[in-house]
Amino acid sequence: MTGPAVSPASASTHVMGVYSRGDLAFERGEGVRLYSTTGEEYLDCVAGIAVNGLGHRHPRLIKALTDQANKLWHVSNIYRIPEQEALADRLCASSFADQVFFTNSGTEAVELALKICRKYHAAKGAPERIDVITFAGAFHGRTYAAVNAGGYAPYLEGFGPRLPGYINVPFGDMEALKAAIGPHTAAIMLEPVQGEGGGRVFSDEDLREFRRICDEQDILLVYDEIQCGMGRTGRLFAYEWSGAQPDVMVLAKALGCGFPVGACLTTDKVGECMTFGTHGSTWGGNPLAMAVGLAAFDEISKPALLEHVRMLSGYFRQQIAGLHDRYPDVISEVRGLGLLIGIQLKLNNREFMMMARARRLLIAGGGDNCIRMLPALIMTVQEASEVLERFETVCQDARAQLQSKVG
Ligand SMILES: *Cc1c(COP(=O)(O)O)cnc(C)c1O
């Protein structure tokens, strides 16, 4: 192999400083473990932020990627792409949807969902219906429309005027939601389980009520299942728990299990407004992405895997409840659904994440001073018990630190 050596020890000064990166780099992954460039082994409960649903180096994904790499990487969407048709068929057969548009990222799928919401009403002669109502704590991505939809002030500051048509209401506040609905309302958009927001879960009753309101007033219901979909909650899609189906749904993250793939799904009734020329993408759904997406889908949609996620999340939940009882000075609340676990802390979540890293446990942060555990769906009970052992040690470290501050 030739080419310049990558030196993680000296962080590049040419990479834009938008991330707060720790001085840690990985060389190799295997299942739920990551190995740093300095040779240390870590247990991975970040999984690339719920991306590596099948862990690292999954043999079926490697085969799908390398087989396709030897055949065809990319062709334009002006030609039929059989792998894309196959993945769209699979997604529609296992969901509410009739049509799929593939993207390269989550936020692009959100962008299309928002366009569809407006186009749907415009095509029905109501172009004034442009408002999309979202909830506090939401995260829908980083394009201009997505940050406006998310409504989180720090992501909006300094980027010019706020876009018209986005209304953010308090989480789960049914009265505020009803008050926000008016003649300009196009859609309600939400994550059935908030990811970046810290694992906050909408109740089944709330989701069914949103569905009822939307039906009554011809408002579109959009689910952002980019993080909570693709098996993470123990069902292929999180909405299956409530049975309240959306009109539009966006997926990404574990859809490609590490290969960048996103998707926007909708029904024929809604999607028919998206006629020739109304949208497009150069790479979205190319053969390489679709080959990996197909393999990932076939693994994640296996009933035995989804059953495993439900079993494993029960184990996590029970064990973490025990930790909550034993460390009430460290943990204030446990949230989430399935293997999207949010734990709200009594000390700074960033500090706690650094302590976990020192114990070779990788966890993600979240809003509301939470940390998130997002293990690969294939984690074994044995590996989970190792995770929980390390996690308890971190709780002890955190307790010692809190006590030293008081004393
Ligand atoms: C990650 C995420 C996005 C954005 O996806 P990108 O691929 O980073 O653009 C949008 N919504 C939710 C719920 C997410 O978790």
The fraction of the chain above a pLDDT of 90, given in percent, is 95
- The string over 137-147, giving b where at least 16 C-beta atoms fall within 10 Å of a residue's C-beta and e elsewhere, is bbbbbebebbb
106: Cβ below 6 Å to ligand 1? yes
According to the model, what pLDDT value does residue 12 have?
A: 67
Whether residue 3 is predicted with pLDDT greater than 90 in this model: the reply is no
The fraction of the chain above a pLDDT of 70, given in percent, is 97
Give me ligand 1 centre to Cα 262, in Å: 9
User: What is the mean predicted confidence (pLDDT) over 165-180?
Assistant: 97
According to the model, what pLDDT value does residue 243 have?
A: 97
- How far CA 173 is from CA of 133, 134, 135, 320, 404, in Å, comes to 12, 11, 9, 28, 40
The rounded mean pLDDT for the chain is 96
Q: Which residue type occupies 282?
A: T
Count CB-CB contacts under 10 A for residue 301.
16
User: What is the mean predicted confidence (pLDDT) over 386-398?
Assistant: 98
Nearest ligand 1 atom to the CA of 225 is: 13
Please tell me the distance from the alpha carbon of residue 135 to that of residue 132, in angstroms, as a whole number.
10
Cα 33–395–366 angle (5° rounding)? 70
- Contact present, 339 and 313 (Cβ < 8 Å): yes
Q: In the β-sheet with 41-44, what is the strand arrangement from edge to edge? A: 26-30, 33-36, 41-44, 361-362
231: Cβ below 6 Å to ligand 1? no
Provide the 3-class DSSP secondary structure of residue 298. Answer: helix
Residue closest via CA to ligand 1's atom 11 equals: 140
According to the model, what pLDDT value does residue 102 have?
A: 98
The tens digit of pLDDT for each residue in 67-101 reads: 999 999 999 999 999 999 999 999 999 999 999 99
Which tokens is 321 given? 């409840």
Question: Could you give all domains of the chain from N- to C-terminal order, each with its CATH number?
Answer: 8-57+303-406 (3.90.1150.10), 72-300 (3.40.640.10)
According to the model, what pLDDT value does residue 138 have?
A: 98
According to the model, what pLDDT value does residue 22 have?
A: 83
The tens digit of pLDDT for each residue in 252-283 reads: 999 999 999 999 999 999 999 999 999 999 99
Residue closest via CA to ligand 1's atom 5 equals: 106
Residues 6+ apart with CB under 8 A from 318: none
DSSP class of 162: P
Whether residue 142 is predicted with pLDDT greater than 70 in this model: the reply is yes
Residue closest via CA to ligand 1's atom 6 equals: 106
The tens digit of pLDDT for each residue in 195-245 reads: 999 999 999 999 999 999 999 999 999 999 999 999 999 999 999 999 999
Give me ligand 1 centre to Cα 31, in Å: 23
- Contact present, 195 and 139 (Cβ < 8 Å): yes
Whether residue 4 is predicted with pLDDT greater than 60 in this model: the reply is no
Give me ligand 1 centre to Cα 223, in Å: 12
Give me ligand 1 centre to Cα 389, in Å: 30
Whether residue 295 is predicted with pLDDT greater than 50 in this model: the reply is yes
Q: Which residue type occupies 162?
A: R
According to the model, what pLDDT value does residue 233 have?
A: 98
Which tokens is 298 given? 């076939």
According to the model, what pLDDT value does residue 1 have?
A: 38
- How far CA 96 is from CA of 92, 188, 192, in Å, comes to 7, 17, 15
225: Cβ below 6 Å to ligand 1? no
Whether residue 2 is predicted with pLDDT greater than 50 in this model: the reply is no
107: Cβ below 6 Å to ligand 1? yes
Residue closest via CA to ligand 1's atom 15 equals: 227
191: Cβ below 6 Å to ligand 1? yes
Give me ligand 1 centre to Cα 405, in Å: 37
Please tell me the distance from the alpha carbon of residue 94 to that of residue 176, in angstroms, as a whole number.
33
Whether residue 5 is predicted with pLDDT greater than 50 in this model: the reply is no
- How far CA 203 is from CA of 127, 149, 191, 215, in Å, comes to 32, 21, 12, 19
Residue closest via CA to ligand 1's atom 3 equals: 141
- Contact present, 323 and 315 (Cβ < 8 Å): no
